[in-house]
């Protein structure tokens, strides 16, 4: 944790927008009514109603503990509600993730009906306090007062996700937890964990040990954008099932569900390097050392391939309590299926024929999706797939993740499928944040500044009756060109803050000027919590140590 003595003097400065005072809270609450005066949090007793569930009561206690540490004065937990206290109480009439906060001169009343509701109320209160509340050091001189305000809040979308590709580059358990920590600051509730790809298999599967003995390591990595190069450095890593359980538990404590992704039938070169018998030619295959899409994909002509997938998914479903399992489905080249006698036999047996819309091989992928979906459904869970699974006829009950722009999500919603919007144009956080490519760290390309993320409206292009199928929004962070945690955080922040307003705020509550003004406070939070972030909105570009002034726009 970094502690800046200078920031001790910083007080909460509300942004004034068309005559109305607003607060530095991100995502901004749905309803805020400012009062007059303030309540001093330093040393105020904390009442936790017996109606709170155990986890919520623990979160309230932890908040009291944190407050005591940073203010230097103990906040006692009290059994009877008194006048001048911070009170946590259940209000069963509130929706699951909703909360209310009432700050008056003589006390603070916080209400919610669920764990996530209480967590979000606490996050909102923390954002109204000096950023030192996110640290662990005493900041006696800071102004530990809340402005009098009445807040009534709930999210616009139920699904508020952030993805991380741990296959192209591996991030440690501690780094993943830190990623989850900042997601929780912004009230996200889903972590989409991309665990397998051509360049590495990252999850221990007990029945197939070679997946991690062989598939978790590659013989070097291409350098920069040179697809012919190899740095010659063996690279890899994986999560044991015990580590995964630990991360799932940690995320649950932050109100975050983890959805694992096992990408299939494409993006499987690392799996095939481990078990070549599940490929069309039988190999040998290698864990890929360069980016792009390998043509070595799972062979659906062989019954053994399905047994393999089902065994893997059984262990995955046993590990992850999430109701959804992501089965990938993106970018599956059909070259090997066209040449493979087993695949062609399967196509014939199933009576699959090319038509004006799709090839027989595309319909074969549809068959794979449907079989895997049935298996997952039979285990009481649901599938999510990238928008390619719409090619052919997906089975009812699949959820579509729209990544090639918004059209997949719109098509899915029009067909009555639930959809999650992750359009590359607005929420691919591997894209560059400024137009000055030479000043930015290495990137895949693209251009996605924080204001473009902020501007995204998920209902655009959707007719009224289809809107209910958009269950939420997620940003994706692919890591082909991101090898370090500092670079990862640079790509994440502050775009994650902008994403959170797309996910949380009703469109009439979004306001770029108000959000931009609050970024200064957000960066104090990042500094206190020890995150790297992009300072492009403040005219600086580059990773720490390489920061340069942006050219005037
Ligand atoms: C994707 O970006 N290939 C889903
Ligand atoms: Zn085959």
Q: Is 197 one of the catalytic residues?
A: yes
Q: Is 339 one of the catalytic residues?
A: no
Q: Is 331 one of the catalytic residues?
A: yes
- In a domain? residue 464: no
- In a domain? residue 337: no
Band (pLDDT 50/70/90 cuts) for residue 553 is: low
State if residue 536 touches ligand 1 by the CB under 6 angstroms criterion.
no
Residue with tokens 């206290």: 85
Tell me: do 56 and 120 sit in the same domain: yes
Tell me: do 233 and 93 sit in the same domain: no
- In a domain? residue 405: no
For residue 182, the model assigns a pLDDT of 98
- For residue 478, the ligand closest to its alpha carbon is 1
Tens of pLDDT, residue by residue over 171-204, are 999 999 999 999 999 999 999 999 999 999 999 9
Nearest to 432 by CA among 491, 481, 493: 491
Tell me: do 47 and 182 sit in the same domain: no
Whether the predicted pLDDT of 515 surpasses 60? yes
Tell me: do 139 and 166 sit in the same domain: no
Tens of pLDDT, residue by residue over 420-474, are 999 999 999 999 999 999 999 999 999 999 999 999 999 999 999 999 999 999 9
State if residue 403 touches ligand 1 by the CB under 6 angstroms criterion.
yes
Tell me: do 111 and 199 sit in the same domain: no
User: What are the backbone angles phi and psi of residue 346, rounded to the nearest 5°?
Assistant: -60, -45
State if residue 387 touches ligand 1 by the CB under 6 angstroms criterion.
no
| Residue 186 to residue 496: CA distance in whole angstroms | 8
State if residue 404 touches ligand 1 by the CB under 6 angstroms criterion.
no
For residue 150, the model assigns a pLDDT of 98
- In a domain? residue 224: yes
For residue 4, the model assigns a pLDDT of 41
- For ligand 1, atom 3, which residue shows the shortest CA distance? 330
- In a domain? residue 61: yes
For residue 372, the model assigns a pLDDT of 97
For residue 10, the model assigns a pLDDT of 44
For residue 123, the model assigns a pLDDT of 98
For residue 397, the model assigns a pLDDT of 95
For residue 391, the model assigns a pLDDT of 87
Tell me: do 197 and 99 sit in the same domain: no
Tell me: do 146 and 204 sit in the same domain: no
Q: How many domains does the chain have?
A: 2
For residue 11, the model assigns a pLDDT of 44
Q: State the average pLDDT for the chain.
A: 95
For residue 3, the model assigns a pLDDT of 40
Nearest to 201 by CA among 217, 225, 178: 217
Tell me: do 242 and 312 sit in the same domain: yes
The residue segments making up the domain with residue 35 are 31-153
Indicate which CATH number applies to the domain containing 49.
3.30.379.10
State if residue 331 touches ligand 1 by the CB under 6 angstroms criterion.
yes
Q: What is the 98 CA–ligand 1 centroid distance (Å)?
A: 32
Tens of pLDDT, residue by residue over 309-338, are 999 999 999 999 999 999 999 999 999 999
Whether the predicted pLDDT of 1 surpasses 80? no
| Residue 318 to residue 388: CA distance in whole angstroms | 27
Domain boundary among 89, 118, 153: 153
Tell me: do 378 and 264 sit in the same domain: yes
- In a domain? residue 259: yes
Tell me: do 149 and 184 sit in the same domain: no
Mean pLDDT of 10-16: 55
The active-site residue out of 91, 175, 331, 451 is: 331
Domain boundary among 389, 404, 424: 389
Whether the predicted pLDDT of 149 surpasses 70? yes
| Residue 531 to residue 485: CA distance in whole angstroms | 10
Of 478, 479, 481, the one to substitute when testing ligand 1's pocket (max ligand atoms within 8 A of C-beta) is 478
The active-site residue out of 97, 132, 165, 197 is: 197
- In a domain? residue 522: no
Tell me: do 133 and 44 sit in the same domain: yes
For residue 5, the model assigns a pLDDT of 40
Tell me: do 317 and 374 sit in the same domain: yes
User: What are the backbone angles phi and psi of residue 164, rounded to the nearest 5°?
Assistant: -145, 130
pTM value?
0.96
């Amino acid at each position: 944790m970094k502690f800046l003595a200078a920031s001790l003097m910083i007080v909460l400065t509300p942004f004034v927008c068309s005559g109305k005072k607003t607060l530095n809270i991100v995502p901004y609450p749905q309803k805020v009514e400012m009062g007059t005066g303030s309540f001093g949090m330093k040393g105020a007793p904390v009442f936790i109603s017996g109606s709170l569930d155990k986890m919520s009561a623990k979160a309230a206690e932890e908040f009291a503990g944190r407050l005591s540490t940073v203010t230097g004065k103990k906040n006692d937990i009290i059994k009877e509600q008194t006048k001048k206290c911070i009170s946590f109480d259940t209000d069963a009439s509130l929706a699951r993730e909703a909360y209310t906060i009432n700050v008056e001169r003589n006390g603070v009343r916080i209400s919610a009906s669920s764990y996530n509701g209480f967590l979000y109320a606490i996050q909102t209160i923390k954002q109204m306090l000096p950023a030192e509340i996110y640290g662990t050091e005493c900041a006696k001189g800071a102004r530990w007062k809340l402005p009098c305000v009445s807040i009534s809040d709930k999210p616009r979308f139920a699904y508020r996700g952030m993805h991380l590709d741990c296959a192209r580059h591996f991030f440690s358990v501690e780094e993943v937890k830190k990623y989850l920590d900042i997601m929780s600051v912004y009230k996200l509730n889903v972590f989409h964990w991309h665990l397998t790809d051509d360049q590495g298999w990252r999850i221990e599967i007990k029945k197939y040990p070679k997946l991690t003995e062989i598939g978790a390591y590659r013989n070097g990595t291409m350098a920069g954008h040179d697809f012919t190069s190899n740095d010659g450095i063996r690279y890899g890593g994986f999560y044991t099932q015990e580590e995964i359980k630990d991360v799932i538990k940690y995320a649950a404590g932050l109100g975050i569900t983890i959805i694992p992704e096992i990408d299939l039938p494409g993006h499987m070169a690392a799996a095939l390097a481990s078990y070549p018998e599940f490929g069309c030619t039988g190999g040998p295959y290698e864990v890929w050392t360069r980016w792009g899409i390998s043509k070595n994909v799972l062979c659906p002509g062989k019954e053994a391939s399905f047994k393999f997938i089902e065994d893997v998914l059984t262990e995955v479903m046993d590990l992850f309590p999430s109701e959804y399992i992501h089965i990938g489905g993106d970018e599956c080249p059909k070259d090997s299926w066209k040449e493979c006698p087993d695949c062609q036999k399967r196509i014939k047996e199933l009576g699959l024929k090319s038509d004006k819309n799709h090839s027989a091989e595309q319909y074969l992928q549809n068959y794979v999706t449907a079989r895997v979906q049935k298996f997952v459904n039979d285990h009481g869970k649901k599938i999510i797939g990238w928008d390619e699974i719409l090619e052919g006829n997906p089975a009812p009950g699949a959820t579509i993740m729209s990544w090639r722009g918004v059209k997949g999500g719109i098509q899915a919603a029009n067909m009555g499928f639930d959809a999650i919007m992750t359009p590359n144009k607005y929420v691919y956080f591997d894209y560059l944040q400024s137009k000055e490519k030479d000043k930015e760290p290495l990137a895949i390309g693209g251009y996605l500044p924080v204001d473009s993320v902020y501007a995204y409206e998920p209902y655009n292009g959707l007719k009224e009756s289809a809107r209910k199928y958009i269950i939420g929004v997620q940003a994706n962070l692919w890591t082909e060109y991101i090898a370090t945690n500092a670079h990862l955080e640079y790509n994440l922040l502050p775009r994650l803050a902008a994403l959170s307003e797309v996910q949380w705020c009703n469109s009439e509550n979004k306001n770029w000027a108000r959000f931009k003004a609050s970024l200064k406070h957000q960066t104090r939070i990042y500094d206190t919590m020890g995150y790297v972030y992009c300072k492009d909105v403040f005219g600086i570009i580059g990773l720490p140590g390489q920061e340069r002034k942006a050219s005037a726009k």
